[in-house]
Chain A
Amino acid sequence: MSAAAQESVEIEKIQTTEEGLATQQYLTFLMNDEEYGVDILAVQEIRGWERATMVPNSPSHMKGVLNLRGTIVPIIDLRDRFQLPSVDYSDITVVVILKVDTDKGDRTMGIIVDAISDVYDVPIGKVRTTGVAENRNSHFIKGLVTVDKNMVILLELQKLLTIDD
């Protein structure tokens, strides 16, 4: 059974219990063996890592700026941002370009992650927003959801993209 088919079975199971609930699609990626999800509508493109131009006196997670079809886009190392152990970038290191409507207007930003994982349909009601442990990263987290017996951490992009330092 392919991964996609397995997923649809899983989703069906969810939907029988949560009849008629709207779902949201999430793109998930891996980082330090955890699976994180971002709203797929925010994803502009996925590209390989390339060296960015460093920005002076910026925090360590700010890896610099890239030219994305004529706009200057900052690139954030999400491991560094979440204070996870850093790894060297390689050919398979991936940059996910996200565009989010913030109170300062649309903002585009790239996040460096270990690898892309999957796309899931997540029923909105299934997202657990309570019980997420309060820690230094909790304000970036929208909630948790279990898909395919795996826990996926859903990210709050507005917060991720607007918090400056």
Chain B
Amino acid sequence: MAKILAVDDSASMRQMVSFTLKGAGHQVTEASDGVEALKIAQGQAMDLVLSDVNMPNMNGIELCANLRQLPSYKFTPILMLTTESTGDKKMAGKTAGATGWIVKPFNPDQLLTTIKKVLG
């Protein structure tokens, strides 16, 4: 079981991700934008952060950069959920310190397979 922070401004995506992860036995905390996620992250360490890229207030890239500044998130895997299929957005994420990405649309099985790459 891992502690996972799921960040997305879309409630349906958040619910889907959260439901899937909880179903696989993980402990999930949800946040609806970067600001909320950062606040949660400042309070506790997570084993994995899954974040959408396009969000109001603080987007996923900024969140990623901010998380890497926190001592307890220096090496935490951060995966970006992105519909951006072009390489430049992925690069932006990498530059900000993201571990990898999951391309939307994805189904629950793809999600679980992908996070297995970075957990444990």
A touches B (Cβ under 8 A):
no
Give me the interface of B with A, judged by CB distance under 8 Å. Answer: none
Give me the interface of A with B, judged by CB distance under 8 Å. Answer: none
